[in-house]
Amino acid sequence: MENSKVDVLVIGAGPSGLMLCTWLARLGIKTRLIDKRHNRTNSSQADGLQSRTFEILDSLGVGQDIWREANHMLEIRFWNPDENSQLYRSDMIVDTMPGISRFQQATLYQGRIEDYLLKYIGQHSDIAIEYGKMPELLNIDTKNVESDAEYPVSVTVRQLSPEGSEIPNGSKINGSHVSNGMFRSNLTADTTDSMLAVAKANDATETEVIHAKYVVGCDGAHSWVRRQIGCVMEGEHTDFIWGVLDIIPITDFPDIRYRCAIHSASGSMMVIPRENRYVRLYIQVSEIAEDGQPLDRSKINEETLLRVAQKILAPYKITYKHCHWWTAYRIGQRVGSRFSAHDRVFLAGDAVHTHSPKAGQGMNISMQDTFNLGWKLAHVIKGLSSRSLLTTYTSERRQIAQELINFDHRFSRLFSGRPSKDVLDREGIDLKTFKDVFDKGNLFASGIAVDYASSLIVAKDTESEADALIYQQNYDAPFLGKPAEGIPCGLTSKQHLARRIPVGMRIPSYKVLNQSDARPWHLQELLPANGTWRIIVFAGNLLETTQRERYEDLAKGLESATSFLQKYTPKSTAADSVFEILTVHSAPRARLELLSLPAVFHPFSEEYGWDYSKVFVDDASYHEGHSQAYENYGIDRSRGCLVVIRPDQYVSWIGELEDLPDLERFFGAFMKIQS
């Protein structure tokens, strides 16, 4: 039996697993990625991309390519029955709230998104998907979980034969192969154990023991890793069954290229336009078959789903000649009782939270889970941070999963209920209530509303503390227990200095100009995902003598041999490899010279000269107007402030230019002194 060692073993090569490997590849972490399938399946699965996910992808350098290829959704249209039960267009609203992001909601086949991530991984590492490998035993050496040098998690992996790793996922329609996702559906049994039993009976299959510092289970709703660490899914299933069809529709329905929420006397349906003429239909399936008998769920197929869609959409007609993929599922909202074991084995994505897919959250939340985890693992493995940093994964992402479940609980029941006939029909769904919840949920669904509570790496003030129960209160959903509490950092931010940069949320983006060449940049574009912390010095008006003195005093503190900048940056690496200092001042650009500023804000290199990419100004551009960044961020143009941004673009702390001692305390709580 072969034995090997690796820093991180990722189990499952779906969106969450690939996002994690993207981070780890970028940060140079030795990683292996295994998947029980014998190859990638040509199936649609998820396809919705929300605003925050696009921001994340853009920070990795792949967002613009995906944005260009995706189908953009700009408007939602509502269809409801009138007093005669005839379907009519009742309303239309904007799909993504204007101004919240540079990106709006869009759709693209999951396989193409994975293509871009795999290309990125290949450009930055030798990580490749190891297909046909199934884990069969996981062991944690609890005596060594706190040792940085050990590999305390061992996973026995079995190489499946091509036949053993084949997952049935298709059928024939008019002679063409049509993929389906029923093997992933909660309407079908998990095949993991049976596949493993067949493999064990085959003496020719090989096994390997992989010794890892960390293991991350990204292995979906039927997660094997989840079972090994004793994580229990808490929540509930419903009796609502929904089907999904990806087709090129032939129809006279006038809004087929808009996102539509349709309630009719025959049921409910959502229309999601996609790329290349495809449309995804989410279709409510009745528990009662056409003959009046209970529905045999095993007989649900693409033809069944089309017939139901035709009834819902009547009198409009719909059919197809091209079907790319279909599936069916039972709505349920559940979240894992734990997200990790000893902060050595972690769960992410569908492995630890499940919900209905109609709000377009599954792939987004899954990738955001591992975008949160990836940089933390890398910093600990590299010896930059203590293992206490890893506790924040559970405290932050379980909170978000709980909010997602609570939102989806309300949303899916409203969508699945029949429309009320009149004000006296208490069992029916009030369509105004549905629209209000739909509208409110859009901000949450966009991912922009994620608000992490106080922790080791989030220093809120008392008034801005995140309320993890907000969706329970707003959407009247059951509560499954408080999110895990993190280790507080013992500091508070001065939120009033930047009123519109909420601590615990991702930093909004407005344009600023490069001091050296007047080129405008969105602030988020200055924060690529490379693993570094950013200290943004909103320096105020540097033409004012007092403000210039404050800025120069800050420079002296940063240059001190005892500053966090010097203590926590390895001597063998670039000065900005762990912390990058960016300046955004408010003085007129033409009246300030870059080289007049302290060198720590535009470092000098013997090989490359001065760094011209660190100092920016909130001023009018030649071609794109004035973004008024200071005003939009709620920052005083004279005094400015300091803002600390995590490697994942979330805001950790806000303070005065004189508050360097607090900044030292903040980083001292979890960073390791470097030699």
**Catalytic residue (choose from 357, 483, 502, 508):** 357
Structure confidence at residue 443 (pLDDT):
81
User: What integer is the mean pLDDT of 173-196?
Assistant: 60
Same domain (yes/no): 574, 609: yes
Same domain (yes/no): 351, 374: yes
**Among 2, 3, 37, CA closest to 17:** 37
Q: Which residues contact residue 332 at a Cβ distance below 8 angstroms, ignoring those fewer than 6 apart?
A: 186, 235, 236, 237, 238, 354, 355, 356
Phi, psi of 283 (to 5 degrees): -125, 125
Same domain (yes/no): 212, 282: no
Structure confidence at residue 469 (pLDDT):
36
Q: Which residues contact residue 295 at a Cβ distance below 8 angstroms, ignoring those fewer than 6 apart?
A: 241, 285, 286, 287, 288, 289
CATH (domain of 317): 3.30.9.10
Among this protein's residues, is 357 annotated catalytic? yes
User: What integer is the mean pLDDT of 8-35?
Assistant: 98
Among this protein's residues, is 162 annotated catalytic? no
Res 23 pLDDT > 90: yes
Same domain (yes/no): 151, 255: no
Q: pLDDT digit string (tens) for 185-215?
A: 545 566 677 777 776 766 567 999 999 999 9
User: What integer is the mean pLDDT of 605-618?
Assistant: 97
Answer yes or no: is 434 within a domain.
no
The b-or-e profile of 219-230 (16+ CB within 10 A means b, else e) is bbbbbbbbebbe
Beta bridge partners of 111: none
Same domain (yes/no): 175, 225: yes
Structure confidence at residue 161 (pLDDT):
82
The b-or-e profile of 620-648 (16+ CB within 10 A means b, else e) is ebeeeeebebbebbebbbebbbbbbbbbb
- Domain end among 381, 406, 431: 406
**Among 461, 340, 475, CA closest to 396:** 340
Same domain (yes/no): 109, 154: yes
- Domain end among 309, 330, 351: 330
d(CA 455, CA 521): 31
Structure confidence at residue 425 (pLDDT):
46
- Joined tokens for residue 476: 């009247």
d(CA 468, CA 125): 37
Phi, psi of 369 (to 5 degrees): -55, -55
Range with the lowest mean pLDDT among 394-398, 474-478, 481-485? 474-478
Residue spans of alpha helices (H) in 136-295: 192-201, 224-228
Answer yes or no: is 354 within a domain.
yes
**Catalytic residue (choose from 282, 320, 633, 650):** 282
**Catalytic residue (choose from 26, 52, 226, 274):** 274
Question: Is the full-model pTM beyond 0.85?
Answer: yes
Q: pLDDT digit string (tens) for 62-84?
A: 999 999 999 999 999 999 999 89
Answer yes or no: is 431 within a domain.
no
Evaluate whether 247 touches 323 at the Cβ level (below 8 Å). yes
Range with the lowest mean pLDDT among 124-128, 443-447, 579-583, 615-619? 443-447
Percentage of the chain modeled with pLDDT above 90: 73
Res 175 pLDDT > 60: no
Q: How confident is the model at residue 298 (pLDDT cuts 50, 70, 90)?
A: confident
Same domain (yes/no): 301, 340: no
Whole-number average pLDDT of the chain: 89
Residue with tokens 């073993």: 9
Structure confidence at residue 423 (pLDDT):
46
The total domain count for the chain is 3
Q: Which amino acid is at 179?
A: S
Structure confidence at residue 205 (pLDDT):
74
Q: CB 156: neighbour CB atoms within 10 A?
A: 15
d(CA 302, CA 267): 17
Res 602 pLDDT > 90: yes
Res 52 pLDDT > 70: yes
Answer yes or no: is 436 within a domain.
no
Q: pLDDT digit string (tens) for 242-271?
A: 899 999 999 999 999 999 999 998 999 999
Among this protein's residues, is 184 annotated catalytic? no
Q: pLDDT digit string (tens) for 362-417?
A: 899 999 999 999 999 999 999 999 999 999 999 999 999 998 888 887 777 777 66
Res 306 pLDDT > 80: yes
- Domain end among 330, 353, 381: 330
d(CA 447, CA 19): 16
Answer yes or no: is 427 within a domain.
no
Same domain (yes/no): 366, 258: no
Structure confidence at residue 187 (pLDDT):
54
Same domain (yes/no): 258, 321: yes
Q: pLDDT digit string (tens) for 416-440?
A: 665 555 444 455 566 677 777 777 7
Structure confidence at residue 404 (pLDDT):
86
User: What integer is the mean pLDDT of 291-317?
Assistant: 86
Residue spans of alpha helices (H) in 417-561: 431-446, 470-475, 545-559
Same domain (yes/no): 524, 402: no
Res 631 pLDDT > 90: yes
Range with the lowest mean pLDDT among 482-496, 558-572, 633-647? 482-496
CA-CA-CA-CA torsion sign (570, 571, 573, 575): positive
CATH (domain of 528): 3.40.30.20
Same domain (yes/no): 181, 254: no
Q: How confident is the model at residue 604 (pLDDT cuts 50, 70, 90)?
A: very high
Res 44 pLDDT > 70: no
Res 315 pLDDT > 80: yes
Structure confidence at residue 637 (pLDDT):
99
Span between the terminal Cα atoms of the chain, in Å: 39
User: What integer is the mean pLDDT of 566-571?
Assistant: 96
Find the domain containing 583 and state its range.
Answer: 495-668
Same domain (yes/no): 126, 263: no
Answer yes or no: is 376 within a domain.
yes
In the chain, DSSP finds a helix count (H) and a strand count (E) of: 15, 30
CATH (domain of 140): 3.50.50.60
Percentage of the chain modeled with pLDDT above 70: 85
Distance of CA 32 to the CA centre of its chain: 21
**Catalytic residue (choose from 7, 35, 47, 95):** 47
Indicate the SS3 state at residue 238: strand
Res 476 pLDDT > 50: no
Range with the largest mean pLDDT of 40-49, 140-149, 297-306: 140-149
Answer yes or no: is 130 within a domain.
yes
- Joined tokens for residue 581: 């200092």
Answer yes or no: is 317 within a domain.
yes
Among this protein's residues, is 274 annotated catalytic? yes
Q: Which has more pLDDT, 77 or 178? A: 77
Q: How confident is the model at residue 184 (pLDDT cuts 50, 70, 90)?
A: low
Q: Which amino acid is at 187?
A: L
